C-alpha cells in the first residue's frame, strides 16, 4: 500500500502545484496575447487592403458545405465605388500551418498579403516574415554614409505578392532576396506573375503560394456574386 | 565545493554542449543568428535554474522510482511560463524561435542537470550550477551563431555586413551547424591538449 499511495500522492501534489502556477500565469498573459492577436489581424487587414475602408467584416459564404469567411472593403475611384476583398487562408508548410491574410481587388489582383502565423525554421522559412533592413552592420555602428534611413520596410517576401494576378498561375523563381529598389527584377517577376523563393526554403514559398491558389475558385465565385449584387443595388437606386 | 568553480566548470571543463555533448537539437537549430541564440539561452537558462532549484528543494520527498515524471512536470511548467510570457511580451521572439521554445522541455541539459546534479546537491549549489551550465550553453550557442550568421546570412546582429555579397547558404542549414560545431570542438580540444603537454 505504502509503495503505491505515497508516490501517487506526491505526483498529484506536484501536478496540482504546477496547474495552480500555470493557471495563474495564463490569467496574467491571456488578455495580452489575445489583444496582440487581434491587433495583428487588424494591422494585417490594413496592410492587405491599402487605401480601402472596410465595409463588411467577417461575412460568410457557403460553398459546398464549407464556410468561406471574408471581409469586403470599398474605395472611391473617380465616380465609381470599387470593392476589394480580404480573406484568410492556410496551408501546412515545412513545420506547421502557415496562416496568412490576402487582399484582392475585383480583378483578382493581389493588393497585399500578410503572414499572421507560421512556425517555420528560424533563419530559413521564418524569413518569410523577416523585414529586410537597408542598414549595414558597419553603417549602424560606425555611422558611415552607407547607413540607411532607418525606414521600416514590409517583409520582402510578402511584399512581392503585391500586384500579382491570382486568376493566373503564380510561378516561383529562384532569384534570391528581392529588394524594392531592384526595379528590373520587380518587373520581371510581375511580368511572369511569379514570386522569388526564399533561399533554402522552397517548401515554405510553395506552401504560401499554394495556400493562395486553393482559394482561387471560391474567390472567383465570390467576386462574381458580389459584383452582381452591387449592380442590382445600383439599378434599384 | 567552490561556487566559482561550479560556474567555470559549466563554461569550460563540463561545458554541456562541447564536453558532455547534450542539448544538441536546440544548439543546431537556433544558432542561425545571434539574437535567436541569446533569446534561446535566456529562456533555457531560466528554466534550468528554476528547475534545478525546485528539484533540489523536493529531493528529500521524491521516491527515486518516480523522479523522472516529477522532474519533467516541473520542467514543463517552467517552459510554459516562458512560452506564455514570450507570447505576451515578446511576440517577435516567440515567432522567431517558434517550436524550439516548447521543445526546451526535452532539452537534455535541463533533465540531465536535474538528474545528475540538483537531485544530489543543495539548493544554492544547484542554482549556481544552473547559472554555470546556462552560461556554458549560451556562450557556445553565441559563438556558433556568430560564425553562422556572418557566413550564412552575411549579417551580424541583424545588420548586413557586406552589401551585395551572396552568403553561403550551407552555413545557415544544418550542415553548417555541424561544421562550425566540429571546428569549435577541434579548437577546444587543441587548447586542452596543449595544456597537458
For helices B34-57 and B123-153, angle between their N-to-C axes, nearest 10 degrees: 160
Would residue B19 count as lying in a domain?
A: yes
Q: Distance between CA atoms of A208 and A201, rounded to whole angstroms?
A: 11
Cβ contact A118:A129 at 8 Å: yes
State chain A's maximal CA–CA distance in angstroms.
85
> What's the pLDDT score for residue A201?
83
Would residue B167 count as lying in a domain?
A: no
Which one of B73, B152, B162 has the shortest CB-CB distance to A14? B73
> What's the pLDDT score for residue A146?
41
Which value does ipTM take for this structure? 0.76
Show Cβ contacts of residue A137 under 8 Å, excluding neighbours closer than 6 positions: B155, B156, B157, B159, B160, B161
State chain B's maximal CA–CA distance in angstroms.
61
CA distance B13 to chain A (A): 30
Q: Which of A26, A29, A123 to mutate to test the interface with B (most CBs of B within 10 A)?
A: A123
> What's the pLDDT score for residue A131?
66
> What's the pLDDT score for residue B80?
93
Q: Distance between CA atoms of A122 and A200, rounded to whole angstroms?
A: 12
- Count how many domains chain B has: 1
Q: Which three cell numbers stand for residue B87?
A: 507570447
Cβ contact A128:A207 at 8 Å: no
Residue A189 CB neighbour total at 10 angstroms: 21
Cβ contact A196:A189 at 8 Å: yes
DSSP characters for B8-71? HIIIIIT-IIIII---HHHHHHHTTSHHHHHHHHHHHHHHHHHHHHHHHHTTTTS-GGGHHHHH
pLDDT at residue B190 is higher than 70: yes
Q: Distance between CA atoms of A115 and B100, rounded to whole angstroms?
A: 20
pLDDT in tens, A15-49: 999 999 999 999 989 998 888 888 888 888 888 88
| Selected residues 43-62 of chain B with any CB under 8 Å from a CB in chain A | 58, 61-62
Q: Report the relative pairing of strands B155-156 and A194-196 from DSSP bridges.
A: unpaired
Residue A107 CB neighbour total at 10 angstroms: 10
In which domain, by residue range, is B56 found?
3-147
Average pLDDT, chain A: 79
CA distance A151 to chain B (A): 14
Would residue B26 count as lying in a domain?
A: yes
Q: Distance between CA atoms of A48 and A71, rounded to whole angstroms?
A: 11
> What's the pLDDT score for residue B98?
74
pLDDT at residue B179 is higher than 70: yes
Going by C-alpha positions, the residue among B6, B42, B2, B25 that lies closest to residue B134 is B42
Show Cβ contacts of residue B91 under 8 Å, excluding neighbours closer than 6 positions: A36
Cβ contact A13:B66 at 8 Å: no
A150 against A202, higher pLDDT? A202
Cβ contact B44:B110 at 8 Å: yes
| Selected residues 71-100 of chain B with any CB under 8 Å from a CB in chain A | 73-74, 76-77, 80-81, 84-85, 87-89, 91, 95-100
Would residue B168 count as lying in a domain?
A: no
Cβ contact A126:A99 at 8 Å: no
Q: Is residue A139 less than 8 Å (CB to CB) from chain B?
A: yes
Sheet holding A66-77, edge to edge: A53-63, A66-77, A80-92, A97-105, A110-117
Show Cβ contacts of residue A174 under 8 Å, excluding neighbours closer than 6 positions: A196, A197, A199, A202
Show Cβ contacts of residue A102 under 8 Å, excluding neighbours closer than 6 positions: A48, A86, A87, A88, A89, A110, A112, A113, A161, A166, A212, A215
Find the range with the poorest average confidence among A106-110, B13-17, B89-93, B151-155.
Answer: B151-155
pLDDT in tens, A126-163: 777 776 555 555 555 555 444 444 444 567 788 888 88
Q: Distance between CA atoms of B53 and B129, rounded to whole angstroms?
A: 10
Which one of B77, B96, B159 has the shortest CB-CB distance to A18? B77
> What's the pLDDT score for residue B44?
92
Would residue B98 count as lying in a domain?
A: yes
> What's the pLDDT score for residue A148?
43
Q: Is residue B154 less than 8 Å (CB to CB) from chain A?
A: no
A168 against B125, higher pLDDT? B125
Q: How many Å is the Cα radius of gyration of chain A?
A: 23
Would residue B175 count as lying in a domain?
A: no
Going by C-alpha positions, the residue among A34, A88, A27 that lies closest to residue A214 is A88
Q: Which residues of chain A have a CB within 8 Å of the CB of B96? A: 122, 126
Would residue B178 count as lying in a domain?
A: no
> What's the pLDDT score for residue B76?
93
Would residue B16 count as lying in a domain?
A: yes
Cβ contact A100:A114 at 8 Å: yes
The three-state secondary structure class of A167 is: coil
Amino acid at each position: 500500500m505504502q509503495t503505491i499511495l505515497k508516490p501517487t500522492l506526491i505526483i498529484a501534489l506536484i501536478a496540482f502545484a504546477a496547474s495552480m502556477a500555470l493557471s495563474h500565469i495564463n490569467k496574467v498573459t491571456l488578455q495580452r496575447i489575445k489583444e496582440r492577436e487581434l491587433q495583428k489581424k487588424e494591422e494585417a487587414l490594413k496592410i492587405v487592403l491599402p487605401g480601402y475602408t472596410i465595409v463588411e467584416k467577417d461575412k460568410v459564404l457557403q460553398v459546398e458545405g464549407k464556410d468561406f469567411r471574408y471581409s469586403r472593403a470599398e474605395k472611391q475611384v473617380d465616380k465609381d465605388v470599387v470593392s476589394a476583398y480580404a480573406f484568410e487562408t492556410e496551408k501546412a508548410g515545412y513545420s506547421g500551418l502557415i496562416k496568412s491574410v490576402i487582399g484582392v481587388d475585383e480583378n483578382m489582383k493581389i493588393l497585399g498579403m500578410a503572414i499572421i502565423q507560421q512556425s517555420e525554421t528560424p533563419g530559413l522559412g521564418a524569413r518569410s516574415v523577416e523585414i529586410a533592413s537597408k542598414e549595414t552592420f558597419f553603417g549602424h555602428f560606425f555611422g558611415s554614409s552607407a547607413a540607411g534611413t532607418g525606414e521600416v520596410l514590409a517583409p520582402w517576401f510578402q511584399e512581392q505578392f503585391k500586384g500579382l494576378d491570382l486568376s493566373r498561375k503564380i510561378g516561383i523563381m529562384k532569384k534570391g532576396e528581392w529588394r524594392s529598389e531592384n526595379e528590373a527584377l520587380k518587373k520581371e517577376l510581375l511580368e511572369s506573375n511569379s514570386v522569388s523563393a526564399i533561399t533554402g526554403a522552397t517548401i515554405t514559398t510553395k506552401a504560401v503560394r499554394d495556400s493562395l491558389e486553393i482559394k482561387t475558385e471560391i474567390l472567383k465565385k465570390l467576386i462574381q456574386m458580389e459584383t452582381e449584387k452591387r449592380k442590382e443595388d445600383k439599378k434599384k437606386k | 565545493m567552490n561556487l566559482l568553480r561550479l560556474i567555470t566548470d559549466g563554461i569550460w571543463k563540463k561545458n554541456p554542449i562541447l564536453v558532455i555533448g547534450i542539448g544538441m537539437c536546440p544548439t543546431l537549430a537556433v544558432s542561425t543568428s545571434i539574437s535567436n541564440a541569446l533569446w534561446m539561452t535566456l529562456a533555457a537558462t531560466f528554466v534550468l535554474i528554476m528547475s534545478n532549484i525546485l528539484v533540489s528543494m523536493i529531493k528529500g520527498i521524491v521516491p527515486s522510482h518516480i523522479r523522472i515524471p516529477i522532474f519533467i512536470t516541473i520542467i514543463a511548467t517552467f517552459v510554459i511560463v516562458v512560452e506564455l510570457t514570450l507570447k505576451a511580451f515578446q511576440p517577435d521572439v516567440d515567432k522567431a524561435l517558434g517550436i524550439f521554445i516548447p521543445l526546451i522541455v526535452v532539452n537534455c541539459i535541463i533533465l540531465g542537470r536535474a538528474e545528475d546534479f540538483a537531485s544530489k546537491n543543495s539548493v544554492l549549489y544547484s542554482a549556481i550550477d544552473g547559472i554555470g551550465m546556462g552560461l556554458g550553453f549560451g556562450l557556445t550557442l553565441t559563438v556558433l551563431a556568430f560564425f553562422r550568421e556572418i557566413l550564412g546570412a552575411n549579417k551580424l546582429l541583424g545588420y548586413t555586413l557586406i552589401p551585395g555579397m551572396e552568403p553561403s547558404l550551407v552555413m545557415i542549414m544544418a550542415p553548417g551547424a555541424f561544421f562550425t560545431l566540429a571546428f569549435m570542438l577541434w579548437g577546444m580540444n587543441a587548447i586542452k591538449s596543449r595544456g597537458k603537454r
